[in-house]
Chain A
Amino acid sequence: MNIAISLRDYRQVVIITGLSFCLLVVTLYSLTVGAVFIPVTDVAVILLQKLGLFTSVEVDNMHVVVLNSIRIPRIVMTMLIGAALGISGAALQGLFRNPLVEPSLIGVSGGSAAAVVVLIVFGSSLALPDSGLLRDSVLSLVAFGGGLLATLLVLGMSKQGGRTNISVLVLIGVAINAMSWAIIGLAIFYADENQLRAFTFWTLGDLGGASWDKLSIAAPVLVLSSVLLLFYARSLNALALGEAEAYHLGVDTERTKRIVILLSALAVGISVSLAGMISFVGLVVPHVIRVLFFPDNRLVLPASILCGALLLIIGDLIARTMVSPAELPIGVVTALIGAPFFIGLLLKAKQKNEL
């Protein structure tokens, strides 16, 4: 008995450690690849010098500049967005007791994208500059605001007698998404060539715009919302039995629903504002964990953080190198590698009767 329990905990530690190690290796490798090849020893030395170690070792100054101002911000942003998408997907699937849920369901991605597209197309009449920090920050803010507004609408309209009715919420989410896409379609109708191009980046994702400036506000929010979601692992486990059952077990279900949805909206809204819509990470990552390992949210949530970051960094690596010097949209890559992998997992799970 005790052996079985400790075995489970032991497995959890092994899985988390293994995933962290993979993430570290892939991150280091990813930092070496690009227009300029930087040997992994240089990458390691430059990173350690940031911690005040090996300061006497000489490294190529250009390598330092490329890493510091281009690659490191990009990889940090990629990692944080992957992590945020992974854990929000996992938390929302747990909350809705439905493995097909992804963050777009609560309206957040559609709302963000619609707000951004409207701003891109009609922004010139609002005296918005064509580029620069002001434009970036306004776009980010608008994306986040649009996402939050859509989520609050969905959440507010699905209240029934003081409680959130989950099936109503899902349907209203579908309707709000349809409305967002209609707004996007309308904006496209009035868009010119350049605006269409900018819009494509927003709906297919683009990790190219990373900078320390953008990260200074976004990174703490992404980290905070992801870490806070981790605290809901046990409540989400109880919710797997059903809402009434979770309440009987002592979970404050209303509070849990509200907080998990708002934290997910925050994480996804910020992600969309940084890099546009990146599909499939939030849907696939938690599934992979559940099918490969086990569905206990105390594993699924932290592992989704690591696995989401891992998947997005690998995706970004492919997007940067496949057609270099050009870049593929990251959303295309995540869907291209995510979808077949996902189908394979589903077929395997179907055979084992685990769905």
Chain B
Amino acid sequence: MYAASNISFHAREKRILQEVSIALQPRTFTAVVGPNGAGKSSLLKAMAYEQQRFQGEVMINGRNVKSFRPKELSRVRAVLPQSTTMQFAFTVNQIVLMGRHAHLTTKRENDSIVEEVLHLTDIAHLKERNYLTLSGGEKQRVQLARVLTQVWEETVYPRYILLDEPTSSLDIAQQQNIFSLAKVVCERNIGVMAIIHDLNQAVQFADHIHFMRDGKIVAAGEAQSVFTKTNIEETFCCSVNIYHDPCNNCPYIIPERSLKQNPGLLSKVVTNA
């Protein structure tokens, strides 16, 4: 289990996180949703122990994150950022292989892991390509492959992947692609946590959803049971209607037009014009 308990974090006078607790289970996809500035990324950074100045405790597989050395930490958790910019013309293969940086496996084992992951993420044909010349979607799949490579080999302990809005600049097919892959790899005794902006994707892929607002978790639980009109409207301050997919009964939302909510808006626009 990857458990954060009572995480609080202040930046100057502003409280970014207030007593946030969240637990990730292996073989489970956990989504964190919430408006901009809710503290989702801060929570992820604290859990990854990239941000080290928080109150509270983060335990990975029963061991305090503070007692891990960076190398040890990298063998149990990997992080995929929103996007990665590079200055130097590394090849796809070199970048994916970097996932094995802290591992003690042999070159042959590393190569076969990379090969497997390149095929899974469908970028084997890009292997010798210069990363700088790839499209946004291809770049993000390379980074996902690097992250998967880091926690790929089966171990006695569960591993975890943290995804920070991994699809924010991708088209819809690439988005589905990235989340489907993240969902599938849960089967390798991996726990996944993803910050997701698209609520319909969150409920489609996640087993658990945590709603965050103003540095607190306001609702959390099994995905379909917490995906309610009240939770969503209270978290995002936006009226929505919930419908159900006639094929698989998966819920989805359509936000209401905000003009109806805020009749004053139209009059402001018109008078100013």
- Contact yes or no, A250 B75, CB < 8 A: yes
Q: Which of B128-136, B239-247, B259-267 contacts A (4 or more CB under 8 A)?
A: B128-136
Residue of A nearest to B89 (CB): A354
B:69-91 near A, CB below 8 Å:
69-75, 77-79, 81, 84-91
Chain B residue numbers with a CB within 8 Å of A353 are 130, 132-133
Interface size on A, residues (CB 8 A): 30
- Contact yes or no, B102 A245, CB < 8 A: no
Residue of A nearest to B164 (CB): A244
In the docked arrangement, what's the CA distance between A174 and B93, Å? 36
- Contact yes or no, A5 B78, CB < 8 A: no
- Contact yes or no, B70 A98, CB < 8 A: no
Q: Which of A20-28, A68-76, A116-124, A233-241 contacts B (4 or more CB under 8 A)?
A: A233-241
Residue of A nearest to B91 (CB): A294
Chain A residue numbers with a CB within 8 Å of B99 are 249
A338 within 8 Å of B by Cβ? no
Digit string of B91-119 for contact with A (CB within 8 Å is 1, else 0)?
10111001101100001000100010000
Q: A98 with B84: in contact, given A161-B53, A249-B102, A354-B130 (CB under 8 Å)?
A: no
In the docked arrangement, what's the CA distance between A184 and B78, Å? 49
A156 within 8 Å of B by Cβ? no
Digit string of A131-149 for contact with B (CB within 8 Å is 1, else 0)?
0000000000000000000
In the docked arrangement, what's the CA distance between A250 and B53, Å? 19
- Contact yes or no, A4 B127, CB < 8 A: yes
In the docked arrangement, what's the CA distance between A290 and B130, Å? 13
Chain A residue numbers with a CB within 8 Å of B115 are 1
- Contact yes or no, B98 A237, CB < 8 A: yes
Q: Least Cβ distance of A74 to chain B in Å? A: 35
Residue among A2, A248, A251 with the highest chain B CB neighbour number at 10 A = A248
A:181-240 near B, CB below 8 Å:
234, 237-238, 240
- Name 20 interchain pairs, CB-CB below 8 A, sorted by A: A1-B111, A4-B93, A4-B127, A97-B86, A99-B87, A240-B88, A241-B146, A244-B50, A244-B81, A248-B77, A248-B78, A248-B79, A249-B99, A250-B71, A250-B73, A252-B70, A296-B90, A354-B89, A354-B130, A354-B132
